[in-house]
Structure formats: structure tokens, C-alpha cells
Amino acid sequence: MKYELSPLPYAYNALEPYIDEQTMRIHHDKHHQAYTDKMNAVLEKYPAFAQTPIEELLQKLPTLEIDEKDRSLLRNNGGGYANHAFFWTVMGPEKEIDEGLVEEAKKTFGTVEECKQALGEAATNHFGSGWAWLVRDEQGLLKAYSLPNQDSPLTLGHTPLVCIDVWEHAYYLKYQNRRTEYIENWWKVLKFF
Ligand code: MN3
């Protein structure tokens, strides 16, 4: 199966003024497209995976029968494809509060504010390129942590609920080195709470 890059679910300028149009255009049309193309180039070599969704391949990544170089390419580019596809859907120009998720967040963290604080700290303190994640673990508990590069919580057996891209390409044009300011503003474009 060959993956196509889906259009953004809103206009490129829909997240202004918190995330600027030029960043969204480059991030989606160039970066996400590049991950998509490179993932397709790897998957082309494995017709046996043609019917398996990329999320499932990421879950099974450590044990896939695949060349080690391709495993690493799939980790980076399959992860890059899936992470971004998910990222676009957790953001939006308007809040669509997810009451179920709010309840889960309260159960684990006490309050939504504390949940945001844990996720925000994971994002702020992450060294180098990567993502901050809010996930549901194997036991059904929420966790906030960061992972390097394009690594996916799916590979750890966790279900992604919210993610923040902290690669510089996600914010550098508008915020330069001010990652903390990007994250403070990012809550305005998070849809779910
Ligand atoms: Mn990115």
C-alpha cells in the first residue's frame, strides 16, 4: 500500500497567531511529505506488509522481519509519517473538549492543569529533536513523557492521546530558540482541553 499525504484538516493559517501559516506550510507540505515518501520507499520493498496499517507496523517494529537498516528507516520515517498525521488532528482553530479525556487526566494527574504541566515539562525539558506525548499505558493509566526523534509510543505498547512536536522545524520560524514560548502558546491550539 502506498501512503498519500492527507491535506491538513484546516487552513494553513487556521492556527494563527500561535502557529504561523509559513511554518504550517513547510511543516506539512515539505517535512511530512518527505517522511511519507521515505516511508513509502521502504515499504515498497516489503509487499508482505502491504495490508498492515503503519500504526500496527510501529507496534510490531522490534520484531518485524526486516533488514536492520530498513527497521531504522521505518522507525524514523514511518514514525514521522504517523506522528505528524496524528499531530494535525490534536490541534485545531477551535476547542472540541474531550470530556472523557478530561476525566482520565483528572484521575491520573489530579487536575487538567497538572496534566498540562506534566506534558509541558516533558516538552520543554526534552533535549534535541523529538516529541512530548500524553499516552495511555498498558494498564490504562495516563503518562506524560518525551521520546527522541520520530519514535512512537506505539512501539512501547502505549496509545497516543496528545502530542507536541518539539523539533525546531515546528516552531523556529516564529519562535526561533524560544521553545518555552511556543509550548505556552501551543495550549491555545490543542483541541481536547
Ligand atoms: Mn515535525
User: Tens digit of pLDDT for each residue in 85-124?
Assistant: 999 999 999 999 999 999 999 999 999 999 999 999 999 9
Q: Is residue 103 part of a domain?
A: yes
- Residues 166 and 149: their CA atoms lie apart, in Å, by 9
127 and 162, same domain (yes or no): yes
What is the per-residue pLDDT for 119?
98
- Cα 170 to averaged position of ligand 1 atoms, centre (Å): 5
83 and 25, same domain (yes or no): yes
- Cα 16 to averaged position of ligand 1 atoms, centre (Å): 17
Arithmetic mean of pLDDT over the chain: 97
Section 29-53 average pLDDT: 97
Looking up residue 34, the CATH number of its domain turns out to be: 1.10.287.990
What is the per-residue pLDDT for 171?
98
83 and 111, same domain (yes or no): no
Residues contacting residue 156 through CB under 8 Å, at least 6 positions apart: none
- Cα 89 to averaged position of ligand 1 atoms, centre (Å): 13
Helix ranges restricted to H, 44-156: 54-59, 68-73, 79-90, 99-109, 112-125
Section 46-65 average pLDDT: 96
Nearest in space to 39 (alpha carbons), one of 83, 92, 14, 2: 2
3-state secondary structure of 176: coil
118 and 40, same domain (yes or no): no
132 and 174, same domain (yes or no): yes
The answer on pLDDT for 1 being more than 90 is: no
- Cα 77 to averaged position of ligand 1 atoms, centre (Å): 11
Domain of 81 in residue numbering reads as 21-90
What is the per-residue pLDDT for 94?
97
85 burial (CB, 10 Å; 0-12 / 13-18 / 19+) is: middle
Q: Tens of pLDDT along 132-185?
A: 999 999 999 999 999 999 999 999 999 999 999 999 999 999 999 999 999 999
Asked if residues 192 and 90 have their Cβ atoms less than 8 Å apart, the reply is yes
